[in-house]
Homo-oligomer: A and B are copies of this chain.
Amino acid sequence: MKIAIDRGAPTPLHVQIAHAIREQILAGALPGDGRLPPSRKLAKALGVNRGTVTQAYQVLWSEGLIEGRVGRGTSVLPASAGSETRYAPLPWETLLTGGSEQDDREVREFVRLIDRDDLISLAAGLPAPDLYPMDALRSITDDVLAREGRTLLHWCPVEGYAPLRRQLAERLAGVHPNEILILSGSTQGIFLLARALIAPGDLVAVQSPTYIGALQVFRAAGARIVGIPSGAEGIDSAAIENVFARARPKLFYAVPTFHNPTGETMSLETRKRLLRAADRHGVPVLEDDPYAMLRYDGEELPSLKELDAHGQVLYVSTFSKILFPGLRIGYLAAPRPIVERLKSGKHLQDLFTNSIGQAAVFEFARRGLLEEHAARMRDEYRARRDAMAEALRRRAPSLAFSSPEGGYFIWAKIPEGSAARELLREALRKKVSFVPGDLFSPDGRERDRIRINFVSHDPETIEEGARRLGSALRALRREGRTESREEPGRPIV
């Protein structure tokens, strides 16, 4: 084996040695069962430290080119001949890594089923397209492109468009622009945080039920999930304390304001108790706050982030619920070490968030149009909520629900003994859809609940949707159906 090393070259000696051996292996100049000289001997021959040779062998081992066996020394791995012709395609399914991302496909297929064009969909978590401020966006986009399009389209820092970061920091009291990370939608923030804080097997606490997307992300991160009951009566702060004290979760994920799916809002007292428990037990809290600007009644409450005296709250929100989902602009506020780590993760995923969208959102708010639009949305959505509640009481009187103070959703209980998935089958026949409750449950409960979006449609469509839903409920009751006992208990997400 010939190895030439150059002590004057800038490349470290062990890299030079590894490279020389690698070249000979790759050129087939070393036989497949060829032993490599013991490190001591090679080191002496080359006049280097033995550690240098060991390092070189470690590099080659990590590259899969050599193996070491006790008592047999180090040798080049034998070559497999391979099959001479393999015209079959690769067995892709067997090449995939394991993981619960598979489960997600079921949810997506389900979403496709309930979100078809021929239905009145009360299922989607989407705003009302008829109310989109299209003229303002067109004019702003054109202004942004004309004024700074060339710069924006060239490059943007991974952490986001600086004016938007400053603007968001001003809006979120007590946050520095360096603590803001712009996201390609708020789910990216949950994904990045899960990647940064959750190792497989770690425990995440959530409200139960909770946002499907968060459950999917935590499952994909290999987390175990404990749900803290958080139904129409709100979450119990003693239960939070108990979970933090016993199970010591790595993260508590919460949607405290106009919760998805229940519509409930955590009281100020519970917020304070939650933060005290988090502080006492050292549990980071991830506050997901997409509906903050959409309060229709009652008094504004401070976010967990605003109440957070000790920097324990990680905050994500989005422009998808108040403006347009298609812009894909969300944001995160968190302590600097977290933002720094997340920047690395985001850099690997998409380098940065589309910059025209970022500048458009910034300009929208700078001109005062965001507040104006939010005020209009509150009026419209309040009317739609009331229209939905009224229509449901009239058309689907067997549903039990209370009207939320804000947000997008009514969370309704269907009659005793019925299963939401059975109701959905009837509903699809009547051309209306909703999301059955168990999709939001970390443990397969909520089978007698349904989530109804009241913002997407105009009042006439809301009326017709409620009529169809009532008709599905009556059909279900006539047939006396309940969910098949054979259905596996495994939660879907």
What are 26 sample pairs from A and B whose C-beta atoms fall under 8 A apart?
A: A12-B487, A22-B229, A26-B228, A26-B229, A26-B238, A28-B238, A62-B224, A63-B443, A64-B224, A64-B226, A80-B246, A82-B245, A90-B310, A95-B284, A96-B341, A104-B348, A105-B343, A132-B154, A141-B356, A152-B326, A155-B325, A155-B326, A216-B348, A328-B352, A350-B350, A354-B357
Segment among A35-43, A265-273, A274-282 that sits at the interface with chain B: A274-282
Which of B153, B185, B188 makes the CB contact (< 8 A) with A324? B153
For residue A171, CB closer than 8 A to chain B, the reply is no
Tell whether A184 pairs with B350 under 8 Å between CB atoms, given A11-B447, A197-B96: yes
A203 to B191 Cα, complex, angstroms: 25
CB pair B310–A326 under 8 Å, yes or no, is no
Contact A350 B328 (CB under 8 A): yes
Q: Which residues of chain B come closer than 8 Å to A83, judged between CB atoms?
A: 280
Neighbour of A134 across the interface among B59, B145, B355, CB < 8 A: B145
A394 at the interface (CB under 8 A from B): no
Residues of B within 8 A of A224 (CB): 62-64
Given A76-B246, A198-B97: A84 touches B280 (CB 8 Å cut-off) = yes
User: What is the total number of copies of this protein in its complex?
Assistant: 2
Contacts A64-B224, A65-B247, A354-B354 known; list 8 others, CB within 8 Å. Answer: A8-B482, A9-B448, A27-B242, A32-B246, A79-B245, A97-B199, A104-B344, A184-B349
- Chain B hits for A356, CB < 8 A: 141, 326-327, 356-357
From B11, B27, B245, B418, A238 is in contact (CB under 8 Å) with: B27
Query: How near does chain B come to A241, taking the closest CB pair, in angstroms?
Result: 8
Give the interface centre of A184, A249, A310, A325 by most chain B CB atoms within 10 Å.
Answer: A184
Number of interface residues of A (CB under 8 A): 152
Shortest CB-to-CB span from A426 to chain B, Å, is 14
**Stretch of A295-303, A332-340, A375-383, A399-407 with 4 or more beta carbons under 8 angstroms from chain B:** A332-340
With known contacts A90-B282, A134-B150, A280-B82, A347–B104 Cβ distance under 8 A: yes
A89-109 interface code vs B (CB 8 A; 1 in, 0 out): 110110111100110110010
- A328-B311 in contact (CB<8A): no
Q: Does A163 contact B (CB under 8 A)?
A: no
